[in-house]
Copies of this chain bind each other. A is one copy, B any other.
Amino acid sequence: MGLIKRMMATTMALASPHMRELGIKFVSVERGVAVGMVPYRRELVGDPITGVLHGGVVTTLLDSVGGAAVFSMLSVPAPIATLDLRIDYLRPSTPEAPLYARVECYKLTRNVAFARGTAYNADERDPVASMAATFMLQTQAIPHAKGGSSDG
């Protein structure tokens, strides 16, 4: 199963145009835990003087990896959507270094999944950012999901 989940996550990543544009890749996807990374590139920089990544890149990585962590918990593949997300920025990301994110889905209820994780450069114990997020699970038939759902 680990392998299949991993393939699905990879597929998901390949299929998401924005993740591809940023260069986000999955490193590993186990049951409930996903690790992803984004290589450093000039186009991801927020402050050209310091060369530090834009905070939005950090959030996008954490959000994407969080989605994969939640997805890996589902017994049946189903659409998920980020409901809300909190980021604490702890320090600037190191210029020129790749950025990693490790997110754990630590609680799954009927409708909602809870995830938390960190973004870091070389050392997970020296995090760049900390995240807490909830995701909606659309496990039931939702006839008009695309047309009118506002679940996220």
Contacts and interface: CB of A to CB of B under 8 A. Distances in A.
A89 to B, nearest CB: 4
A116 interface: yes
B87 A85 contact: yes
Contact residue range for chain A? 35 or more
Interface string A19-36: 101100000000000000
Most B C-beta atoms less than 10 A away, residue of A64, A86, A89 = A89
A44 B63 contact: no
A152 B114 CA distance: 11
Interface in A91-133: 91-92, 106-107, 109-112, 114, 116, 127, 130, 132
Contacts of A75: none
How many monomers of this chain does the complex have?
A: 4
Majority SS at the chain A contact face: mixed
A10 interface: no
Contacts of A50: 146
Contact of A17 (B42, B87, B114, B150): B42
A88 B134 contact: yes
A91 B150 CA distance: 4
A17 B57 CA distance: 12
Interface of A: 15-19, 21-22, 42-50, 53-57, 59-61, 63-64, 81-92, 106-107, 109-112, 114, 116, 127, 130, 132, 134, 136, 146, 149-152
